[in-house]
Structure 1
Amino acid sequence: MFLSDSKTLTTPRGTFTYRNAGRGAPLVMIHGWPESSYSWEHVSRHLAAGFKIIAPDLRGLGDSERAVGEEHYHKAELAQDVISMLDALGIQQFQLIGHDWGGIVAQEMALAIPERVTRLGIMNIAVINNLNGNMEVVKKVRSTGGASYWYQHFQQAPGMAEAMIPGNEEVWLRYFMRGAEHPIPEDSIAEYVRMYSIPGTPAAAANYYRTFNSDAKRWATLSDHVWPMPSIYIYGNRDHVIIPEYLNHIEGCFEDIQVVQVKAGHFLHEEKPEEVAGYINGFFEPALAVK
């Protein structure tokens, strides 16, 4: 299946865009940074029949609105944006997968409305209730200097992203969108360059990082939480930012968790879409019959 062009949806929380495809069991797919819903385009071509794909553009990215102010970019707020979209679309129960910041938003959604999320997938991002593993990451990063994380500090610096990225969008994005095993598709890069060129995007995208410290303080209170729904963690094991220590102790964070590894970098679903789609097809449950 192929994802549609963006559609616009206005909810009480704002105006957002999304892509969709197929019919059957709802599967919500949430992108990360610096991507949009288009990040699922190549994966969608290998998904089994029986899924109704809903891929939203998160606030500040894709073609969704660029709200001004950091308060809109706390991950629990972004989760409420997506929930409001699903409410407007009449989607009650659904399966859910997210990559990078989209994996955090997916977790926030599963925390807010666990009765509606029947299965949960996370790709190359921290598990927010894994306090022990995440602390081991912090220790490892501090011991090695953390050079790979420079872009996060850059974006957290007031005004820097807004001043330095406009006019340099392609250079900025190509630095990150490099596959460890296979190149990122050129059509994907072109779409993200287009998106990042929309006025307000550098500031909106930077706000994902500027809100991180306060988000992390709240996540540190979730160490007793256990995800009740069947879950899968799909990990691109050539990632230089989401390092293997993020996987430590995650078994204790879920009632039922599968962990699978892909020989790929951070953007594993863009590098190896067919392999990632195979894991999605094997874990998530399509409708048995689609009329």
Structure 2
Amino acid sequence: MVKLKPVLQIVFYYSVGLFYVSILGVLATIKTLITLGPRKTFFCQRRDRRPDVLDDPLLGEHKFARMKKGDQNKPLMLFVHGFPEFWYSWRHQMSEFSDTHRCVAVDMRGYNESDKPIGVENYALDLMAADIKELVEYLGHDKCTLVSHDWGGLVANCVAETYPEIVQTLITCNGPNGRAMMKVLHKSLAQFLKSWYVFAFQWPMFAEYLIRLGDLTAFDGNFTSNKEDVLAYKHAFRDYGDLEGPVNYYRALGRYMLPDAPEKVHVRSLIIWGTADAALDIQIPEATREYFDDLTIEYVDGGSHWIQNEKPKEVNQLIRQFISAKKED
């Protein structure tokens, strides 16, 4: 027998998504047509040449779709990015912490140079949590400091809930715990409205169309600070198929329930939260306290959703203070 709750959830997501697709898709197209003209609106450049910033030796060695910097004998600090990002979003943190840690920034499943399995079912949250566990083991470590942002926060929280034995410290930058996110979404109109894209992305090809509109203008100044960074992001998402895997994260979230989790997570955790996040409501950090027995929350006034790129000094300082305090205990 088909369970009614998952079916209703899917119907609801698709219904709300259709509303946003109808309205926002048309408005975004009209705006881009007026701004750029017809040719540039529906045209994307070829970007075969790899930008130099992606091979900056200061960011370490590029191997198997991971960036590694730091001594292998040092404790592991593993960085998990969000949407639509890739390993490069952690460049400021990797250079900061390579003196004390072995820093590894991963391209998540479906992103950039990592494998891109076909099918929404391959992007369920429990599978991505298992990816992180296997990566920690592959790198030869028993534990890691797990640092995450956005969608990476959902995955990292799932890792801490499912495999707490491999997480020494959990640090989340403007990323949600799954249970806290759903709790806030169900009671907050503000979060419901901010989550428009989650519903809209359930529809085939809409996200791919919207992000590629106007030669990937979604990356122009959104969470990138200079021309070189913009080129790096556009290179990572240069082909139409480069967005299918990342968008499948949202489609899987709409079809599959959250994995079972313990009542409390017994992992020392830090949330760093920019107060001007346009995607995630400021209620989420406090709602997360219910599920953790050792949680610190630090707010960065005026920080946007892209906090680790926008305010790297503040974020790095908070991370440094948190991990240093543990050593002193």
What amino acid maps onto 1:22 in structure 2? G
CA 1:233–1:165: 2 relative to 1, 3 Å: closer
Give 3-state SS (helix, strand or coil) of 1:211's partner.
helix
- Structure 1 unaligned spans of 5+: 9-16
State the match for 1:194 in structure 2: 235
Answer 1 or 2: which has greater helix percent: 2
Alignment counterpart, residue 173 of structure 1, candidates 209, 215, 219: 219
Residue 243, structure 1, aligned to residue 277, structure 2: no
State the match for 1:151 in structure 2: 197
State the match for 2:108 in structure 1: 58
Tell me, in whole angstroms, the C-alpha distance in 2 between the residues paired with 1:103 and 1:205.
Answer: 14
Alignment check: 8 A CA contact 2:82 2:151 kept:
yes
> Higher mean Cα deviation, 102-111 or 30-39?
102-111
The structural deviation recorded for 1:58 is: 0.2
Q: Deviations over 1:87-118 (max 9, x none)?
A: 22212211111110111111122222211211
- Structure 2 unaligned spans of 5+: 1-56
The structural deviation recorded for 1:197 is: 1.0
Please say which structure displays the higher CA radius of gyration. Answer: 2
Alignment check: 8 A CA contact 2:280 2:305 kept:
yes
CA 1:280–1:63: 2 relative to 1, 3 Å: same
The structural deviation recorded for 1:26 is: 0.7
Answer 1 or 2: which has greater strand percent: 1
What amino acid maps onto 1:6 in structure 2? H
Aligned residues: 268
The runs of at least 4 aligned residues of structure 1 exceeding 4 Å deviation read 144-147, 162-169, 285-288
Tell me, in whole angstroms, the C-alpha distance in 2 between the residues paired with 1:286 and 1:61.
Answer: 34
CA 1:146–1:250: 2 relative to 1, 3 Å: closer
Alignment counterpart, residue 105 of structure 1, candidates 149, 155, 164: 155
State the match for 2:312 in structure 1: 273
CA RMSD of aligned residues (A): 2.6
Q: Scaled by the length of structure 1, what TM-score is found?
A: 0.82
Tell me, in whole angstroms, the C-alpha distance in 1 between the residues paired with 2:135 and 2:309.
Answer: 25
State the match for 2:268 in structure 1: 230
What amino acid maps onto 1:262 in structure 2? V
Tell me, in whole angstroms, the C-alpha distance in 1 between the residues paired with 2:325 and 2:63.
Answer: 23
The structural deviation recorded for 1:146 is: 4.4
Alignment counterpart, residue 321 of structure 2, candidates 276, 282, 290: 282
Alignment check: 8 A CA contact 1:27 1:94 kept:
yes
Give 3-state SS (helix, strand or coil) of 1:96's partner.
strand
Q: Scaled by the length of structure 2, what TM-score is found?
A: 0.73
